[in-house]
Amino acid sequence: MSNRGKLRLALSLLILVFIVILLVLAFSTSARHRLKIILSPACIQYNQGTFSNKLTDKIIDYSSEAKRSGIKPCSDGNDIKAMLSDGDLVKVSSGRLFTVGTLNYSYPCLTKDGKAILEEIAGRFREKAEKAGLKGPRFIVTSLTRTTEQMKKLRRNNSNASANSPHLNGNAFDISYIRFKSGKLFTTECDKRFLKEALAEVIVELRDEDKCWATYEKNQNCFHVVAR
Protein backbone atom coordinates (compact mmCIF):
# COMPACT_ATOMS: atom_id res chain seq x y z
CA MET A 1 0.00 0.00 0.00
CA SER A 2 1.31 3.44 -0.94
CA ASN A 3 1.90 6.18 1.64
CA ARG A 4 -1.12 8.04 0.26
CA GLY A 5 -3.27 4.94 0.70
CA LYS A 6 -2.07 4.50 4.27
CA LEU A 7 -2.87 8.13 5.01
CA ARG A 8 -6.40 7.75 3.63
CA LEU A 9 -6.94 4.60 5.69
CA ALA A 10 -5.71 6.30 8.88
CA LEU A 11 -7.94 9.31 8.20
CA SER A 12 -10.95 7.05 7.59
CA LEU A 13 -10.34 5.19 10.86
CA LEU A 14 -10.01 8.48 12.72
CA ILE A 15 -13.30 9.73 11.30
CA LEU A 16 -14.96 6.42 12.21
CA VAL A 17 -13.73 6.65 15.81
CA PHE A 18 -14.97 10.24 16.01
CA ILE A 19 -18.42 9.21 14.73
CA VAL A 20 -18.62 6.37 17.26
CA ILE A 21 -17.76 8.79 20.09
CA LEU A 22 -20.45 11.21 18.93
CA LEU A 23 -23.01 8.41 18.81
CA VAL A 24 -22.10 7.22 22.30
CA LEU A 25 -22.32 10.73 23.67
CA ALA A 26 -25.59 11.36 21.88
CA PHE A 27 -27.33 8.28 23.30
CA SER A 28 -25.64 7.77 26.66
CA THR A 29 -26.21 10.24 29.49
CA SER A 30 -23.79 8.34 31.74
CA ALA A 31 -21.08 8.51 29.06
CA ARG A 32 -21.53 12.28 28.73
CA HIS A 33 -21.38 12.62 32.51
CA ARG A 34 -18.20 10.54 32.75
CA LEU A 35 -16.50 12.46 29.93
CA LYS A 36 -17.41 15.72 31.64
CA ILE A 37 -15.81 14.50 34.87
CA ILE A 38 -12.64 13.35 33.09
CA LEU A 39 -12.13 16.57 31.13
CA SER A 40 -13.53 19.24 33.44
CA PRO A 41 -11.06 21.45 35.36
CA ALA A 42 -13.99 22.79 37.42
CA CYS A 43 -14.80 21.56 40.91
CA ILE A 44 -17.56 18.95 40.88
CA GLN A 45 -19.52 18.71 44.11
CA TYR A 46 -19.75 15.08 45.19
CA ASN A 47 -22.37 13.76 47.58
CA GLN A 48 -19.75 12.52 50.03
CA GLY A 49 -19.82 12.86 53.81
CA THR A 50 -16.84 13.32 56.13
CA PHE A 51 -15.51 10.13 57.72
CA SER A 52 -11.79 10.70 58.36
CA ASN A 53 -12.38 12.19 61.82
CA LYS A 54 -14.05 8.93 62.88
CA LEU A 55 -10.75 7.03 62.61
CA THR A 56 -9.54 7.52 66.17
CA ASP A 57 -8.13 4.16 67.33
CA LYS A 58 -5.05 4.42 69.56
CA ILE A 59 -2.15 1.96 69.68
CA ILE A 60 -2.59 1.41 73.40
CA ASP A 61 -6.10 0.05 72.74
CA TYR A 62 -5.07 -2.69 70.30
CA SER A 63 -1.29 -3.15 70.67
CA SER A 64 -1.48 -6.45 72.57
CA GLU A 65 -3.93 -8.04 70.16
CA ALA A 66 -1.99 -6.79 67.13
CA LYS A 67 1.16 -8.41 68.50
CA ARG A 68 -0.62 -11.74 69.03
CA SER A 69 -2.08 -11.81 65.52
CA GLY A 70 1.08 -10.59 63.76
CA ILE A 71 4.65 -11.76 63.41
CA LYS A 72 7.52 -11.44 65.84
CA PRO A 73 9.44 -8.23 64.97
CA CYS A 74 12.26 -8.71 62.46
CA SER A 75 15.63 -7.22 63.29
CA ASP A 76 16.75 -6.60 59.69
CA GLY A 77 16.27 -7.45 56.04
CA ASN A 78 17.57 -10.99 56.46
CA ASP A 79 14.79 -11.73 58.94
CA ILE A 80 12.28 -10.33 56.45
CA LYS A 81 13.59 -12.66 53.74
CA ALA A 82 13.28 -15.63 56.09
CA MET A 83 9.70 -14.68 56.96
CA LEU A 84 8.85 -14.42 53.26
CA SER A 85 10.47 -17.77 52.58
CA ASP A 86 8.50 -19.42 55.39
CA GLY A 87 5.23 -17.83 54.30
CA ASP A 88 4.76 -15.78 57.47
CA LEU A 89 4.89 -12.68 55.27
CA VAL A 90 3.75 -12.21 51.66
CA LYS A 91 4.90 -9.66 49.10
CA VAL A 92 2.77 -6.60 48.33
CA SER A 93 3.20 -5.05 44.88
CA SER A 94 1.66 -2.23 42.87
CA GLY A 95 -1.25 -3.35 40.73
CA ARG A 96 -4.58 -2.42 39.21
CA LEU A 97 -6.13 -1.28 42.51
CA PHE A 98 -3.32 0.49 44.36
CA THR A 99 0.30 1.63 44.09
CA VAL A 100 3.12 0.94 46.52
CA GLY A 101 5.07 4.17 46.86
CA THR A 102 8.76 4.70 47.60
CA LEU A 103 9.48 2.91 50.89
CA ASN A 104 12.28 4.47 52.93
CA TYR A 105 11.58 2.80 56.27
CA SER A 106 9.67 -0.39 55.49
CA TYR A 107 9.54 -3.47 53.26
CA PRO A 108 6.78 -4.24 50.69
CA CYS A 109 5.25 -7.16 52.53
CA LEU A 110 2.51 -7.98 55.05
CA THR A 111 0.96 -10.92 56.82
CA LYS A 112 -1.72 -12.71 54.79
CA ASP A 113 -4.42 -11.04 56.89
CA GLY A 114 -2.77 -7.65 56.40
CA LYS A 115 -2.63 -8.05 52.63
CA ALA A 116 -6.22 -9.30 52.53
CA ILE A 117 -7.59 -6.21 54.31
CA LEU A 118 -5.48 -3.91 52.10
CA GLU A 119 -6.92 -5.51 48.97
CA GLU A 120 -10.45 -5.33 50.38
CA ILE A 121 -10.05 -1.61 51.09
CA ALA A 122 -8.73 -1.08 47.56
CA GLY A 123 -11.60 -2.99 45.95
CA ARG A 124 -14.34 -1.22 47.88
CA PHE A 125 -12.68 2.17 47.31
CA ARG A 126 -12.50 1.58 43.55
CA GLU A 127 -16.17 0.56 43.45
CA LYS A 128 -17.27 3.63 45.43
CA ALA A 129 -15.22 6.03 43.30
CA GLU A 130 -16.42 4.58 40.01
CA LYS A 131 -20.05 4.87 41.09
CA ALA A 132 -19.37 8.59 41.51
CA GLY A 133 -17.95 8.76 37.97
CA LEU A 134 -14.21 8.62 38.68
CA LYS A 135 -12.74 5.86 36.53
CA GLY A 136 -9.93 3.67 37.86
CA PRO A 137 -8.52 5.64 40.83
CA ARG A 138 -5.67 4.12 42.85
CA PHE A 139 -4.42 5.14 46.27
CA ILE A 140 -0.76 5.03 47.32
CA VAL A 141 0.54 2.82 50.13
CA THR A 142 3.36 4.68 51.87
CA SER A 143 4.49 2.25 54.57
CA LEU A 144 4.19 -1.46 55.38
CA THR A 145 6.30 -3.88 57.47
CA ARG A 146 9.24 -2.40 59.38
CA THR A 147 12.24 -3.99 61.05
CA THR A 148 13.53 -2.88 64.45
CA GLU A 149 16.55 -1.49 62.61
CA GLN A 150 14.31 0.68 60.40
CA MET A 151 12.22 1.74 63.38
CA LYS A 152 15.30 3.07 65.17
CA LYS A 153 16.28 5.12 62.10
CA LEU A 154 12.73 6.42 61.70
CA ARG A 155 12.48 7.51 65.33
CA ARG A 156 15.59 9.64 64.89
CA ASN A 157 13.74 11.65 62.23
CA ASN A 158 10.19 11.33 63.55
CA SER A 159 9.71 11.56 67.30
CA ASN A 160 6.03 10.63 66.89
CA ALA A 161 6.89 7.15 65.61
CA SER A 162 5.94 4.60 68.27
CA ALA A 163 8.46 2.01 69.43
CA ASN A 164 5.49 -0.39 69.76
CA SER A 165 4.22 0.26 66.25
CA PRO A 166 2.23 -2.62 64.71
CA HIS A 167 4.28 -2.03 61.57
CA LEU A 168 6.78 -4.27 63.37
CA ASN A 169 4.19 -7.08 63.46
CA GLY A 170 3.57 -7.12 59.71
CA ASN A 171 -0.17 -6.44 59.89
CA ALA A 172 -0.14 -2.63 59.55
CA PHE A 173 0.12 -0.25 56.62
CA ASP A 174 -0.30 3.45 55.83
CA ILE A 175 -2.30 4.88 52.92
CA SER A 176 -1.76 8.46 51.76
CA TYR A 177 -4.95 10.54 51.71
CA ILE A 178 -3.43 13.42 49.73
CA ARG A 179 -1.95 11.54 46.76
CA PHE A 180 -4.04 9.50 44.35
CA LYS A 181 -3.70 8.29 40.77
CA SER A 182 -6.85 8.68 38.69
CA GLY A 183 -8.02 8.73 35.10
CA LYS A 184 -8.87 12.42 35.22
CA LEU A 185 -7.05 14.94 33.07
CA PHE A 186 -7.49 17.58 35.79
CA THR A 187 -7.62 16.51 39.45
CA THR A 188 -9.35 19.27 41.40
CA GLU A 189 -9.46 19.97 45.14
CA CYS A 190 -13.04 18.66 45.09
CA ASP A 191 -11.80 15.39 43.59
CA LYS A 192 -9.08 15.10 46.22
CA ARG A 193 -11.50 15.70 49.07
CA PHE A 194 -13.93 13.16 47.65
CA LEU A 195 -11.21 10.52 47.23
CA LYS A 196 -9.92 11.12 50.77
CA GLU A 197 -13.33 10.85 52.41
CA ALA A 198 -14.48 7.95 50.20
CA LEU A 199 -11.37 6.07 51.29
CA ALA A 200 -12.03 6.98 54.92
CA GLU A 201 -15.64 5.80 54.61
CA VAL A 202 -14.50 2.40 53.33
CA ILE A 203 -12.04 2.04 56.21
CA VAL A 204 -14.73 3.05 58.73
CA GLU A 205 -17.04 0.38 57.27
CA LEU A 206 -14.38 -2.30 57.67
CA ARG A 207 -13.55 -1.15 61.17
CA ASP A 208 -17.24 -1.36 62.09
CA GLU A 209 -17.15 -4.93 60.74
CA ASP A 210 -14.33 -5.67 63.23
CA LYS A 211 -11.84 -6.30 60.40
CA CYS A 212 -9.33 -3.59 61.30
CA TRP A 213 -8.29 -0.72 63.54
CA ALA A 214 -7.52 2.63 61.95
CA THR A 215 -6.17 6.10 62.79
CA TYR A 216 -6.34 9.42 60.95
CA GLU A 217 -2.72 10.58 61.12
CA LYS A 218 -2.84 14.25 60.20
CA ASN A 219 0.87 14.92 60.72
CA GLN A 220 1.82 12.11 58.34
CA ASN A 221 -1.00 12.73 55.81
CA CYS A 222 -2.08 9.12 55.95
CA PHE A 223 -4.61 6.63 57.26
CA HIS A 224 -2.90 4.07 59.49
CA VAL A 225 -4.63 0.68 59.25
CA VAL A 226 -4.04 -2.49 61.27
CA ALA A 227 -5.62 -5.83 60.33
CA ARG A 228 -7.53 -7.62 63.10
pLDDT tens string 126-150? 999 999 888 889 999 999 999 999 9
44 lies in a domain?
no
Please identify every stretch of the chain with a pLDDT value under 70, giving residue numbers as ranges. Answer: 1-6, 18-42, 159-161
Q: Is 183 exposed, middle or buried (0-12, 13-18, 19+ CB in 10 A)?
A: middle
For residue 95, the tally of other CB atoms under 10 A from its CB is 11
73 lies in a domain?
yes
Same domain, 24 and 105: no
Give the largest CA-CA distance in the chain.
74
pLDDT of residue 46: 86
pLDDT of residue 13: 75
Same domain, 15 and 92: no
pLDDT of residue 4: 67
Q: Which range marks the domain in which residue 214 is found?
A: 52-227
pLDDT of residue 56: 97
Same domain, 209 and 180: yes
Number of domains in the chain: 2
